[in-house]
């Protein structure tokens, strides 16, 4: 079976995305990034279960939206692959998903009454109303491992995301979505940056957040600029000692 140039080049870019997300401290040994299959909208591409910094092209697997590998009997997949499939199922506009435990975001998932909101123009993709928080206890009971290990939990997370670009997962991490892989990487990095900036600002006093209108304006302008940070981050990742 021959693989088209579109798929080959997307797999290459997905490998780069894995390395960038590690180099930018969004993922560590855990976390994952996927892309919807360019020719089969009912499938997505995601590495086998491994540290993102070590992913190569041969580690990328194809899954159906139920989270089953298209070629059975292969290497172990990520336990939380259901995050990806269920979001692609619910959101036809989403072409890429990043799930991470990026550390500055987690505090916003565990303090009632405090919401992650956009503090600066680079974070205009975050909701001005506050980023939704997925409470897994509502679906998995009081004693779960907090992971999205089934289609049922993935679908509940996708519901919590709604039409937004980010959802926090209580005591766990976050998931961001976008209409391209590069945009998803950008959003994952700036969700972490935005959380850090918001915490810094809150230490100083009451915070002025972006308005709904400002989130629209900033997102429109930045949407022509993702390649600028992508190629910078790619060079940094390739020059990192991890790539040697």
Beta bridge partners of residue 48, listed in sequence order? 77
How many other C-beta atoms can be found within 10 angstroms of the C-beta atom of residue 92?
Answer: 9
Residue 80 falls in the annotated catalytic set: yes
Distance, in Å, from the CA atom of 194 to the CA atom of 197, rounded to the nearest integer, reads 5
Q: Could you say which of 13, 80, 86, 192 is catalytic?
A: 80
Q: Tell me whether residue 204 is exposed, middle or buried, using C-beta atoms within 10 angstroms of its C-beta: 0 to 12, 13 to 18, 19 or more.
A: exposed
Tell me which residue has tokens 């600002």: 201
**Strand, coil or helix: what is 181?**
helix
Locate 137 and state its tokens.
């206890």
Cβ pair 167, 134 in contact under 8 A: yes
> What are the residue ranges of helices labelled H in the chain?
5-23, 82-90, 137-140, 151-161, 181-204, 212-222, 226-239
> Catalytic residue numbers?
80
């Amino acid at each position: 079976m021959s693989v088209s140039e579109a798929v080959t080049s997307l797999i290459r870019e997905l490998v780069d995305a894995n390395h960038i997300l590690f180099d930018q401290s969004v993922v560590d040994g855990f976390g994952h990034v996927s892309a919807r299959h360019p020719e089969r909208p009912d499938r997505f591409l995601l590495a086998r279960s491994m540290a993102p910094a070590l992913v190569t092209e041969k580690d990328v697997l194809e899954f159906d939206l139920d989270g089953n590998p298209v070629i059975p009997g292969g290497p172990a997949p990520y336990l939380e692959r259901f995050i990806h499939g269920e979001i692609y199922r619910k959101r036809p506009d989403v072409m890429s998903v990043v799930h991470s435990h990026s550390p500055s975001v987690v505090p916003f998932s565990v303090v009632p009454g405090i919401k992650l909101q956009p503090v600066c123009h680079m974070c205009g993709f975050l909701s001005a109303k506050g980023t939704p928080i997925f409470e897994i206890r509502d679906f998995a009971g009081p004693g779960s491992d907090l992971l999205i290990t089934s289609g049922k939990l993935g679908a509940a997370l996708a519901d919590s995301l709604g039409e937004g670009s980010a959802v926090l997962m209580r005591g766990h991490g976050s998931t961001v979505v976008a209409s391209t892989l590069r945009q998803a990487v950008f959003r994952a990095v700036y969700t972490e940056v935005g959380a850090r900036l918001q915490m810094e600002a809150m230490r100083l006093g009451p915070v002025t957040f972006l308005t709904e209108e400002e989130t629209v304006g900033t997102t429109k302008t930045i949407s022509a600029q993702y390649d600028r940070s992508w190629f910078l981050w790619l060079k940094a990742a390739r020059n990192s000692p991890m790539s040697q």
